[in-house]
Structure 1
Amino acid sequence: MAGPVGVYISVPFCKAKCTFCNFASGVFGGERMQQYVERLCVEIRAARTAAQGLNVSLPRAVDTIYFGGGTPSLLSGDQFGQIFQHLRGEFDVAADAEITLECAPGQLSDETLDELLRQGMNRISFGVQSFVDQEAAAVGRLHTRLQCEAELARVRAAGLKEINVDLIVGLPHQTEQSWRYSVEQAIACEAPHISVYLLEIDEESRLGREMLEQGTRYSAGAVPTEDEAADWYSQACVLLDEAGVHQYEISNFARRGHRSRHNLKYWERQPYVGFGLDAHSMLHANDGAVRFANTSDLDRYLNKVAAATPFQLVESEFKSDQGVAVPEVDIVGRNEAFEESLFLGLRLVEGVDLNKLRSQFGDAMVKDAMPALLEVCDAGLLRMNADSVRLTPQGRLVSNEVFSRLLVPEAALQNYL
């Protein structure tokens, strides 16, 4: 029986787009935002029937809701009220549900904050990225250090205790000293949860294109090297641990009792459903699961006849032979589920319980993965004993390389087909 589901709501609107970002987000007017909210509510209303059409289990019980973006805080209080009305119409939201809002400092009105608190929002994630004004401005952030500090004080005064601060290592103009300052400021503000991300620059972003073309407008020449960023990330791990903010996932650190319940669903392969632009879902189906994602094109999302989400397809009884672009639904079989359990579990500092893997997938499948595991252990990227396997600190820095080396050989997979 599936446990409670997590709900992710994508809100792809920003006041200004960061130079390194190539997410499905952008700057749009109020009319487009209201149109989006209405489309979002239609998708939520269709969820129950749509899940049946996709042969997946969509539990009514919800214990986490996460508003991500973009900058969800740009929506009005009335718009959030609309969304919650439809969510509660389709799901049974637990009284102690974790409800998180992503927010850019300085972009949350009093009216919106009041409505969100009324609706049960109890966790906020601030996209600070840097407490150094020059670094924040260089990538298009609109806030200053003083605004960040004021926002933290404001939401605390409103009663919010669960606060996350996002930081990015490797920003243009960042130095070892300025990075340490940002980490120390995040610790000093006593946020119970801190996220540290290595800067990833998409080649299609403004900064990415400039780096390829060796331009100067977006400070491409001031981006630290990958080795520098990796060293600074490691320094942050030490500083945060010494301050009692302990790492529990590659990019996430928390004081005791303050881990993100919603994000843990992703790494523990618990069911979650996403609504809105480019939102992803993973729901259980019989002995396996299915993964699917909505379109990343806003015009197509808003026009349900043109290219809809999997939920909208069922709702409107669209057929692929009518010229509609049917979103791909990936069936997660036993082999894929084994690899997902390994890769996602390794993102957690505790690592993967090998006995649990054996119980779920059988000893033979774990045995066939063992040569690759031992090889990566010999490289110093994994630490393994009879009961568990986990990434080393060095392994966390090159986790994608580790995961690629752990792909179960195709020849071995034939034993389970």
Structure 2
Amino acid sequence: MPLGLYISVPFCRTKCSYCNFASDVFSRAIFQRYIDRVCSDLARSAEITEQIGAVFERAVDSVYLGGGTPTVLHIAELVRLFVTISQNFVVPPGAEITVECAPGTLTPAILDLFQRQGINRVSFGVQSFVDQESRSVGRLHTRVTVLDDIARLRAAGIENINVDLIAGLPHQTVDSWNTSISQVIDSGVPHVSIYMLEVDEDSRLGRELIAGGTRYHAHFVPDEDLIADLYEIACARLDSAGVHQYEISNFARKGYASRHNLKYWTRQPYLGFGVDAHSMLPTKVGIEAQNRPLPLSFREDFSVCVRTDFLGNHVESDHRIPAPKGLCENSCPGGTKPPEFSREAATECSPGRKPWVKVENEQAPKGRKNSSHALSKGRSVIARHVSAGWMSKSEVSPGGTTEFSRTLFSPRGICFANSSPMGSTEAIRFSTPDSLDKFLSGDRIQRIPISPAAALEESFFLGLRLNRGVDLSQLTASFGSHAVAAFSPAISDFVRQGLLERDGETIHLTSRGRLLSNEVFATFLSSVASQNIAP
């Protein structure tokens, strides 16, 4: 599958007060050193990918220069980036090539470069068409500047233009917001991104709001309820104008959805270069798994059964727990398997029988029946694995002289098995340092292996960002019915709360769900909450 390439350019003319990205104002003296490092990494991309343990692909169908403000670079530096990309990757005609621009940096030389290098999409960080709001957060442009830049892009033959707007800027009101929305609609740009102001410790304005101060016009920031109202106004007005929402923050006319950003939300491979650049690439095992049918044992039976008589003093002479073949034999989180599971597997079973995994260390104390102690030990093992998340108990139903304790392997238990349909590692995410100094000094890349369990959770979390939602039947084909079914109670609960809608095998966020999306996403990120999975 072709890659998306992302190049981070962390340099700005000024640092906006709301910005929480790894960008800042730096001396031009450091630009050349930075471009040297990025181009070196581009040239070594196959080697770096191999070291990471991922699969390298030279075919590329989207390139994205983001920032920061890439257009503050010298023309020669931008040319060098594009030449290095073309020397190391195959970028066919028709690939989407995006450059982020700050209004007012689109010089004639930059426009000429765009035409020569085949740039066919430009994203403007406008944030507001109201000059007072722009000035309050440190933007250097005016409304007139933005409209002039859009006109000059069109004159140069570049029609695929995005405009970013932020709901929640200081001094913003319903009237001023409607002015910005009217202006972006009237401009005719085919793509609009609407972001709600983020309040966190990573921006100056965020820190001031948290502290309750007044610097950076913090006391003029709208409250949360008004910000939510502004977002809903934008959704309704853009939709009426034919700019339809396709993702929580993104709206496009037909045929103009961002192909590069869709890679993030649909878990397609992408490779990032520069400061705080994120990548996700498949492993060889993950690719092979995608090309083979899901084994029957993973489609149907994940049950384990412990059997004893009414008094609990008899168990089958060879105490066993059925499980998918090879479950937890080798690679589990941290490189270890759940304790007390042996490597006994389906090879010992007669044809047609379900595979088994033995419980180890079940020898009875001297003078006691082995079978009785085995039962106690088996129950103890199951209880510990339920507690640790390797299994999830679904029912206990006594009947006659026998008691059956039926347990389903949880998504974590299923997907971390080395013989899971997707292998022990489905993909690898990795990222560069988020500090320019650390990046230039060669700090190590942070590597995060993605197990099939984490991949399933990501598929929910990222897929639900899209208005089209998540196709449960597709997830079932990739991860198994029981792994997906483990999320059914949460899905049903969110449907009852009006945060999700279900249409057959498809689930998607409601309008209210998009406003409260973090609450929904947290449910699907139980085992990967500490990982950074989006760039």
Tell me, yes or no, whether TM beats 0.5: yes
Aligned counterparts of 1:55 and 1:179: Cα–Cα separation in 2: 47
The corresponding residue for 2:503 is 385
Instruction: Please point out which of 421, 435, 439 is paired with 1:297.
Output: 435
The corresponding residue for 2:142 is 144
Instruction: Please point out which of 82, 88, 93 is paired with 2:80.
Output: 82
How far apart are residue 409 of structure 1 and its match? 8.0
Aligned counterparts of 1:63 and 1:132: Cα–Cα separation in 2: 36
Q: Percent identity?
A: 51
> Do residues 404 (structure 1) and 527 (structure 2) align?
no
Instruction: Please point out which of 455, 460, 483 is paired with 1:365.
Output: 483
Does structure 1 retain, via aligned residues, the 8 Å contact 2:55–2:282? Answer: yes
Aligned counterparts of 2:125 and 2:245: Cα–Cα separation in 1: 19
> Do residues 338 (structure 1) and 476 (structure 2) align?
no
**Map 1:127-142 → 2, pairs under 5 A:** 127-142=125-140
Please give the secondary structure, in 2, of the residue aligned with 1:96: coil
Aligned counterparts of 1:45 and 1:290: Cα–Cα separation in 2: 20
The corresponding residue for 1:312 is none
> Do residues 349 (structure 1) and 455 (structure 2) align?
no
Please give the secondary structure, in 2, of the residue aligned with 1:95: coil
Aligned counterparts of 1:390 and 1:204: Cα–Cα separation in 2: 31
Does structure 1 retain, via aligned residues, the 8 Å contact 2:500–2:508? Answer: yes
Does structure 1 retain, via aligned residues, the 8 Å contact 2:42–2:84? Answer: yes
Aligned counterparts of 2:57 and 2:502: Cα–Cα separation in 1: 36
**TM-superposition CA deviations, 1:258-290 (whole Å, max 9, x none):** 100000000000000000000000000021100
Q: Cα–Cα, structure 1 residues 26 and 241, in superposed 2: closer, same or farther, change >3 Å?
A: same
The corresponding residue for 1:320 is none
Please give the secondary structure, in 2, of the residue aligned with 1:94: coil
**TM-superposition CA deviations, 1:344-366 (whole Å, max 9, x none):** 00000000011111111111111
Q: Cα–Cα, structure 1 residues 217 and 254, in superposed 2: closer, same or farther, change >3 Å?
A: same
Aligned counterparts of 2:482 and 2:526: Cα–Cα separation in 1: 12
How far apart are residue 75 of structure 1 and its match? 1.1
The structure whose residues are more often helix, as a share, is 1
**Map 1:103-122 → 2, pairs under 5 A:** 103-122=101-120
Please give the secondary structure, in 2, of the residue aligned with 1:404: helix
Does structure 2 retain, via aligned residues, the 8 Å contact 1:192–1:254? Answer: yes
Higher relative contact order structure (alpha carbons within 8 Å, sequence separation ≥ 6): 1
Aligned counterparts of 2:43 and 2:104: Cα–Cα separation in 1: 32
The two structures, once aligned, show a CA RMSD in angstroms of 1.3
Comparing 88-97 and 246-255, the one that deviates more: 88-97
Runs of 4+ in 1 over 3 A off after TM superposition: 406-410
Does structure 1 retain, via aligned residues, the 8 Å contact 2:9–2:67? Answer: yes
**Map 1:308-327 → 2, pairs under 5 A:** 326-327=444-445
Instruction: Please point out which of 114, 117, 121 is paired with 1:123.
Output: 121
Comparing 66-75 and 203-212, the one that deviates more: 203-212
The corresponding residue for 1:101 is 99
Aligned counterparts of 1:17 and 1:96: Cα–Cα separation in 2: 34
Comparing 77-86 and 137-146, the one that deviates more: 77-86
Does structure 2 retain, via aligned residues, the 8 Å contact 1:76–1:111? Answer: no
Please give the secondary structure, in 1, of the residue aligned with 2:216: coil
Aligned counterparts of 1:15 and 1:53: Cα–Cα separation in 2: 36
Does structure 2 retain, via aligned residues, the 8 Å contact 1:338–1:361? Answer: yes
Comparing 262-271 and 75-84, the one that deviates more: 75-84
Does structure 1 retain, via aligned residues, the 8 Å contact 2:244–2:252? Answer: yes
Structure 1: which amino acid aligns with 2:496? D
How far apart are residue 209 of structure 1 and its match? 2.5
> Where does the alignment leave 5 or more consecutive residues of structure 2 unmatched?
287-425, 529-535
Aligned counterparts of 2:257 and 2:494: Cα–Cα separation in 1: 28
Aligned length: 388
Aligned counterparts of 1:407 and 1:369: Cα–Cα separation in 2: 11
**TM-superposition CA deviations, 1:169-202 (whole Å, max 9, x none):** 0100000010011011000000000000001122
Please give the secondary structure, in 1, of the residue aligned with 2:81: helix
Please give the secondary structure, in 2, of the residue aligned with 1:92: coil
Aligned counterparts of 2:239 and 2:74: Cα–Cα separation in 1: 38
Structure 1: which amino acid aligns with 2:246? Y
Structure 2: which amino acid aligns with 1:244? G
